[in-house]
Amino acid sequence: MYDVVIIGCGVIGAAAAYELSRYDLKIAVLESENDVATGSSKANSAILHAGYDPKPGTLMAKLNVEGNELAFRIAEKLHVPAERCGSLVVAFDEKDEEHLNELYRRGIENGVPGLSIISGDKARELEPNLSEEVRSALLAESAGIISPWDYTLAMAEVAVKNGTELFLNTRVTSIEKGECFTVRSSKGKTFKTRYVINAAGVNSDVVSEMVGDREFSVRPTAGEYYLLDKSEGERVSRVIFQCPNELGKGVLVSRTVHGNLIVGPNAVETDRGNTATTREGLAFVQETAKRSVPGIQFRENIRNFAGIRANTEFDEFCIGESRSAKGFLNLGGIKSPGLTAAAAIGRYAAGLLKDMGLELIEKESFDDTREAIRFKELSDLEKNELIKRDPAFGRVICRCETITEGEIVAALHSVIPARSINGVKRRCNAGMGRCQGGFCSPRVCRIIARELGIDETEVVEEKEGSNVLYSRLKEV
Ligand X SMILES: Cc1cc2nc3c(=O)[nH]c(=O)nc-3n(C[C@H](O)[C@H](O)[C@H](O)COP(=O)(O)OP(=O)(O)OC[C@H]3O[C@@H](n4cnc5c(N)ncnc54)[C@H](O)[C@@H]3O)c2cc1C
Question: Which residues are near ligand X by CB under 6 A?
Answer: 7-13, 30-33, 38-41, 44-47, 49, 171-172, 199-203, 207, 223, 265, 307-309, 334-340
Buried b (16+ CB within 10 A) or exposed e, 355-394: eeebeeeeeeeeeeebebbebeeeeeeebeebbeeeebbe
Kindly list the distances between the CA atom of residue 402 and the CA atoms of 101, 250, 364, in Å, as whole numbers in the listed order. Answer: 45, 34, 40
Nearer to ligand X, 136 or 185 (CB): 185
Q: Beta-carbon neighbour count of residue 94 at 10 Å?
A: 9
Instruction: Tell me the closest approach of the beta carbon of residue 313 to ligand X, in angstroms.
Output: 16
Cα–Cα distance measured from residue 333 to residue 351, given in angstroms and rounded to the nearest whole number = 19
Instruction: Tell me the closest approach of the beta carbon of residue 215 to ligand X, in angstroms.
Output: 16
Instruction: Tell me the closest approach of the beta carbon of residue 84 to ligand X, in angstroms.
Output: 14
Q: Measured at the alpha carbon of residue 398, what is the angle toward residues 392 and 399, in degrees to the nearest 5?
A: 110
Nearer to ligand X, 9 or 296 (CB): 9
User: Is residue 49 among the annotated active site residues?
Assistant: yes
Instruction: Tell me the closest approach of the beta carbon of residue 451 to ligand X, in angstroms.
Output: 24
Query: Residues near 424 by Cβ (< 8 Å), separated by ≥ 6?
Result: 408, 411, 412, 418, 430, 431, 444, 448
Determine the 3-state secondary structure of 220 from DSSP. strand
Question: What's the DSSP call for residue 113?
Answer: S
The residue number with the shortest CB distance to ligand X is: 338
Kindly list the distances between the CA atom of residue 24 and the CA atoms of 4, 179, 210, 357, in Å, as whole numbers in the listed order. Answer: 11, 22, 28, 14
Q: Any bridge partners for residue 2, and if so which?
A: 193
Cα–Cα distance measured from residue 336 to residue 40, given in angstroms and rounded to the nearest whole number = 10
Length of the chain counted residue by residue: 476
Nearer to ligand X, 201 or 431 (CB): 201
Instruction: Tell me the closest approach of the beta carbon of residue 46 to ligand X, in angstroms.
Output: 6
Nearer to ligand X, 88 or 397 (CB): 88
Nearer to ligand X, 9 or 372 (CB): 9
List the catalytic residues: 49
